[in-house]
Structure 1
Amino acid sequence: MDNFFERENLRYAMIGSGSWATALAKLLLNNHDRISWFVRDQESIDQLKQTGHNPFYLQAVHFDSDRIDFSSDINEVIDASDVLLFTIPSAFFKDEAMKINRSLEAKFIITAIKGMVPVENITIAEYFNTYYGVPFSRIGVVSGPCHAEEVAMERLSYLTLSSKHIETARSLCDVFACDYIKTIPGTDIYGVEYAAILKNIYAVAAGVCHALSYGDNFMSVLITNSFHEMRDFLHATHPDANRKTSKSAYLGDLLVTCYSQFSRNRTFGIMIGKGYSVHSAQVEMNMVAEGYYGTKCIYEINKKLNVDMPIAEAMYKILYEQKYPAYIIKQLSEQLQ
């Protein structure tokens, strides 16, 4: 098997400019002399060049802009790179991806997007495979448990790097590993992508329940049941006898997203629980809560699978049917075990 990362002088590109993109760009530059970086907004590029800081996200992170080739043209960045790391929020991913008019035949795709492509209800890896013909053997997935804020502060964190072949996954680990980033190789590209989507939904649920004054005892039961839903959905979607959902990429990522002060999905849920409308919460946060979009995608997929997912269904009722959160969570509490 050809390991793409055994090739010499590979050129890396960051596609996206949010907080996760900023944190991962920092990691790439730890191990590589220079990168290309697609930033949609020219004003942000000008600020990054002048100050070395992203003006909107993780502003404490400093970049040596002389080592970065910025562009607001996604195709220009693709032409200049071999490995493309996508971090665009899923809600906006397709708008940018549809601008790509270059062949991706000779590229390696890494997705760090923790959401699905709306309407099609497919993962980012599935999208590149379906619409651009990229084989799954040339797609890698970055997953947690890891928050961008703690990467920026250089707190010890763990990343799971998955690819279809373990040798490629180990090579991906070398791309990101450093003193404060431990890496874990894996081959479950399907499972870790879906787990990243699901844990955001459950983090929204945790936030809603926190806002409604449910305590730690209830929260432990909620998250335990969330883990069971995740495990059952993954098995129904992509069965894998070697998958161990108790590992960090599944259970660990679920825990940190449900409990952490840095979890934007938990924050979003807290606002919904306090009575904010979805739109008002999104405007005030000024960040994308992937769990909102993932809730609808998983709900649509599960119409065919019929997996028992009362927590995910409760979030759909609250977020998309505008049902009263206190009433829905009270109903949910009768179903948890």
Structure 2
Amino acid sequence: MSVKVGVVGSGSWGTALAIMLSKKGYAVNLWSWLKEESLRLAETRENLEFLPGIVIPSNVTCTSDMGECIDDVDVIVTAVPSHAVRATTENMKQYVKDGQVIVNVSKGLEESSLLRLSEVINDVIPHAKVVALSGPSHAEEVARDIPTTCVAASKHRDAAEFIQDVFMNPKFRVYTNPDIVGVELGGALKNVIALAAGICDGLSFGDNTKAALMTRGIAEIARLGVAMGAKLESFAGLSGIGDLIVTCTSMHSRNRRAGILIGQGKTLEQALKEVHMVVEGVNTTRAAYKLALKNNVEMPIVNEAYCVLFENKNPKAAVVDLMMRSKTHEMEEVVMNNYNW
């Protein structure tokens, strides 16, 4: 297969995917929003800030010119922070042509509109076929050819299957899923739970605590997802429980690292400065809090995370309040209705 790819965003994930796709023999363009950064990547053939020690192959063209990056490619990969998706898409739209597939690999929500990121892209470019690529996939491991599995989700089956073919290789397996709502929400909301998991680690709590937090966390994510039109099964998949596991347990996870620092007593601002990378879970916590209210969905972990991050609540008090909530049953109402107790 002869494919041209434009990767918009030269952070860790964008660079890792550019490297991976170039190893399949594709011509890949890698866009940086700063000219100085694109020149540095072209000269050093290494992303020293995010992926030190990983060589950027010669068939990756580094550029800060959006037209040069995406004008004549078959696949456009958007790999910018969630808060920059709309502005970046506005920059892209004059170059996007019919037939090009846009693959969004960012995980988050637009806080101002509460839209999913594929909705943001389609809001700017209505005719675009958008695929969400999500799952347990740390850039640091993908760049080093460590086996990884993701899911390509889209309303357009042909686009999802095309991206499956483009991305799959012996070290990167891709499944397809028509439920883009569930896949995007799972990928975004797990960052909130990962922040909470990090806070628990920073408080020196144990494996029992984290297991409970992750289990109840996926229940909250699924509850909101179903209320927003997602399929329940998606949250048991790669972009649901799969991504939740890796983000809550790995030190590659910037959300978990930020949570650890907050649990150790640092302010949100101090934690973000020390992590020195975009921590998507922070803005997503605000968005999730608003979505829970909008959809009348109970999300106690999200609520406590919001209070810790933005209302200066003591993390230990938040844990006590979670533990002492009113008694209830474990199963969701939709499941309980199938029991004859």
**What's the TM-score, normalizing by structure 2?**
0.90
2:309 is matched with 319
1:223, distance to aligned residue in structure 2 (A):
0.9
2:337 is matched with none
Q: 1:232, 1:307 within 8 Å by CA — same for their partners in 2?
A: yes
2:187 aligned with 1:196, yes or no? yes
Q: 1:116, 1:294 within 8 Å by CA — same for their partners in 2?
A: yes
Counting only pairs closer than 5 Å after superposition, residues 70-85 of structure 1 correspond to structure 2 as 70-85=62-77
2:118 aligned with 1:125, yes or no? yes
1:153, distance to aligned residue in structure 2 (A):
2.2
2:61 aligned with 1:95, yes or no? no
1:320, distance to aligned residue in structure 2 (A):
1.4
Task: Give the AA of the match of 1:277.
Answer: T
Q: 1:36, 1:80 within 8 Å by CA — same for their partners in 2?
A: no
**What's the TM-score, normalizing by structure 1?**
0.91
Q: Which moved more, 1:25-34 or 1:286-295?
A: 25-34
Q: For the residues of structure 2 that align with 1:98 and 1:322, how far apart are their CA atoms? A: 36
2:241 is matched with 251
1:95, distance to aligned residue in structure 2 (A):
3.5
Deviations 1:204-235 (A, max 9, x none): 00000111121111211111100110111110
Counting only pairs closer than 5 Å after superposition, residues 140-155 of structure 1 correspond to structure 2 as 140-155=131-146
Structure 1: any 5+ residue segments left out of the alignment? Answer: 1-7
1:105, distance to aligned residue in structure 2 (A):
4.5
The alignment partner of 2:198 has SS state of: helix
Deviations 1:140-194 (A, max 9, x none): 1111111111112221111111222444323211211122112212111111111
1:4 is matched with none
2:60 aligned with 1:68, yes or no? yes
Task: Give the AA of the match of 2:26.
Answer: D
The alignment partner of 1:214 has SS state of: coil
Q: For the residues of structure 2 that align with 1:180 and 1:239, how far apart are their CA atoms? A: 29
Q: 1:78, 1:102 within 8 Å by CA — same for their partners in 2?
A: no
1:9, distance to aligned residue in structure 2 (A):
5.2
Q: Residue 21 of structure 2: which of 10, 18, 28 is its match? A: 28
Deviations 1:77-125 (A, max 9, x none): 2323232100101123333333345053513111000111231121110
Q: 2:197, 2:256 within 8 Å by CA — same for their partners in 1?
A: yes
Q: For the residues of structure 1 that align with 2:144 and 2:29, how far apart are their CA atoms? A: 23
1:220 is matched with 211
The alignment partner of 1:283 has SS state of: helix
The alignment partner of 1:21 has SS state of: helix
The alignment partner of 2:54 has SS state of: coil
2:69 aligned with 1:113, yes or no? no
Q: For the residues of structure 2 that align with 1:90 and 1:167, how far apart are their CA atoms? A: 25
Q: 1:128, 1:134 within 8 Å by CA — same for their partners in 2?
A: no
Task: Give the AA of the match of 1:16.
Answer: G
1:298 is matched with 288
Inter-CA distance 24–305: structure 2 relative to 1 (3 Å threshold): same
Q: For the residues of structure 2 that align with 1:98 and 1:171, how far apart are their CA atoms? A: 25
Q: 2:179, 2:230 within 8 Å by CA — same for their partners in 1?
A: no
Q: For the residues of structure 1 that align with 2:127 and 2:247, how far apart are their CA atoms? A: 30
Task: Give the AA of the match of 1:193.
Answer: E
Q: Which moved more, 1:33-42 or 1:282-291?
A: 33-42
- Higher relative contact order by CA 8 Å / sep ≥ 6: 1 or 2? 1
Aligned residues: 326
Structure 2: any 5+ residue segments left out of the alignment? Answer: 331-341
Q: 1:205, 1:315 within 8 Å by CA — same for their partners in 2?
A: yes
The alignment partner of 1:182 has SS state of: strand
1:31, distance to aligned residue in structure 2 (A):
2.1
Q: Which moved more, 1:18-27 or 1:166-175?
A: 166-175
Inter-CA distance 295–134: structure 2 relative to 1 (3 Å threshold): farther
2:37 aligned with 1:44, yes or no? yes
Cα RMSD after superposing both structures:
1.9
Q: For the residues of structure 1 that align with 2:162 and 2:101, how far apart are their CA atoms? A: 12
Q: For the residues of structure 2 that align with 1:97 and 1:73, how far apart are their CA atoms? A: 14
Q: Which moved more, 1:119-128 or 1:89-98?
A: 89-98
1:286 is matched with 276
